[in-house]
Amino acid sequence: MTALRQRMIEDMKVRNFSPRTQQIYVDRVAKFAKHFGKSPELLGPEEIRSYQLYLIHDKHASWSTLNQHVSALRFLYRVTLEREWIIRNIPGPKKPLILPVVLSPDEVSRFFENISNLKHRAILMTAYAAGLRVSEVASLQPNDIDSQRMLIRIEQGKGRKDRYVMLSPNLLDLLRAYWKVARPTHWLFPGHPCNRPITREAIYQVCLKATKAAGLNKKVTVRALRHCFATHLLEAGANIRVIQMLLGHRSLQTTARYTHVSRETLGSTTSPLDLLTKTVEEIQKLKSTVPVHS
């Protein structure tokens, strides 16, 4: 390990960055250095600009990937190398507004019905019932399930923040049935070996298999189930600030995007076409007189 990498890792640890964030930042900086075959200490604004264009045009990198590179390089040059003047020359990509994939309640039921393995069903039902991220559901421990208060403790979620979410009575019944069979100790959902939590990839494969078995044409992941949790709560009349707290969002604006896909929000709004009485009457006449050709 180079002295620069070690110093950068130490700088992140001092600032209480999560292990995953540390891993991502180090990886992104390493790829930047490898692209030019030089230490980042010898590179500057022109190389950074060239590398960003390479990621966009040659690698067709997503917004998320671009943002990770920008964040990692900004940290490296601002904090570890203390070259504040370079930061002004590292523009960040504008985040596109992409609406989340949301399943209907019936589709969610079909999805769960096609998961026969008790452990796998418990994992994904927990993710949906509590609106958890994949890392959060994988990191759960048996003691995090508080059946007395009917809460689930999420320890050090995104942003290194603890929070509590509701524990569904139906989910509690399922988890008790799972616990009687599996008797998990350290991790609620252990992987292989059993002293480590189940991996993201293993959960993804379960989602993929269940999606195909259910015949769904939407991509179902833990993130999609989290989107469903928020949207279905919103459609049921839950307060958006409560949903923000349950999801662990720092900004209400992040939570507000679910209003863009809520059936109740969109469906309760009348189209201006329906306000044109004369036009509507003409459409009704057409329906009864004009034959429909295939």
| Same domain assignment for residues 140 and 64 | no
| Same domain assignment for residues 181 and 122 | yes
Residue 184 pLDDT more than 70? yes
Domain count, the chain: 2
Give dist(CA 94, CA 185) in Å, integer. 44
Residue 20 inside a domain? The answer is yes
Task: Return the DSSP state at 197.
Answer: B
| Same domain assignment for residues 67 and 111 | no
Give 262-279 pLDDT, tens digit per residue.
Answer: 665 555 545 565 555 555
| Same domain assignment for residues 130 and 220 | yes
Buried b (16+ CB within 10 A) or exposed e, 245-264: ebbbbeeeeebebbeebbee
The pLDDT, as a whole number, for residue 94 is 72
Residue 71 inside a domain? The answer is yes
The pLDDT, as a whole number, for residue 282 is 59
Give 207-239 pLDDT, tens digit per residue.
Answer: 999 999 999 999 999 999 998 888 888 888 888
Residue 270 inside a domain? The answer is no
The pLDDT, as a whole number, for residue 190 is 95
| Same domain assignment for residues 114 and 249 | yes
Element housing 137 (H / E): helix 134-138
Q: Is the peptide bond before 169 cis (omega within 30 degrees of 0)?
A: no
Q: What residues form DSSP beta bridges with 254?
A: none
Residue 217 inside a domain? The answer is yes
| Same domain assignment for residues 61 and 121 | no
The pLDDT, as a whole number, for residue 291 is 54
Give 77-105 pLDDT, tens digit per residue.
Answer: 999 998 877 777 677 777 666 667 788 88
| Same domain assignment for residues 190 and 248 | yes
Residue 171 inside a domain? The answer is yes
The pLDDT, as a whole number, for residue 171 is 92
| Same domain assignment for residues 43 and 157 | no
Q: Helix, strand, coil shares of the chain as percentages rounded to 5? A: 60, 5, 35
Q: What residues form DSSP beta bridges with 157?
A: 161
Residue 256 inside a domain? The answer is yes
- State the average pLDDT over residues 186-199: 92
Give 99-148 pLDDT, tens digit per residue.
Answer: 677 888 899 999 999 999 999 999 999 999 999 999 999 999 999 999 99
The pLDDT, as a whole number, for residue 93 is 74
The residue among 42, 60, 87 that closes a domain is: 87
Q: What is the pTM of this model?
A: 0.65
- State the average pLDDT over residues 144-156: 91
| Same domain assignment for residues 144 and 12 | no
| Same domain assignment for residues 125 and 164 | yes
Range of the domain at 219: 105-265
Q: Residue 19: which CATH number?
A: 1.10.150.130
Residue 24 inside a domain? The answer is yes
| Same domain assignment for residues 81 and 150 | no
- State the average pLDDT over residues 176-192: 93
The residue among 59, 87, 115 that closes a domain is: 87
Q: 46 by DSSP, 3-state: which?
A: helix
Residue 28 inside a domain? The answer is yes
Give 237-247 pLDDT, tens digit per residue.
Answer: 888 888 888 88
Give dist(CA 56, CA 63) in Å, integer. 9
Measured in whole angstroms, the distance separating CA 77 from the mean position of its chain's CA atoms is 28
The residue among 87, 122, 149 that closes a domain is: 87
Closest by Cα among 204, 202, 262 to 238: 262
| Same domain assignment for residues 123 and 217 | yes
Give 14-73 pLDDT, tens digit per residue.
Answer: 998 888 899 999 999 999 999 999 999 999 888 998 999 999 999 988 888 999 999 999
Q: Residue 170: which CATH number?
A: 1.10.443.10
Q: What confidence tier does 294 reach under pLDDT thresholds 50, 70, 90?
A: very low
Q: 146 by DSSP, 3-state: which?
A: strand
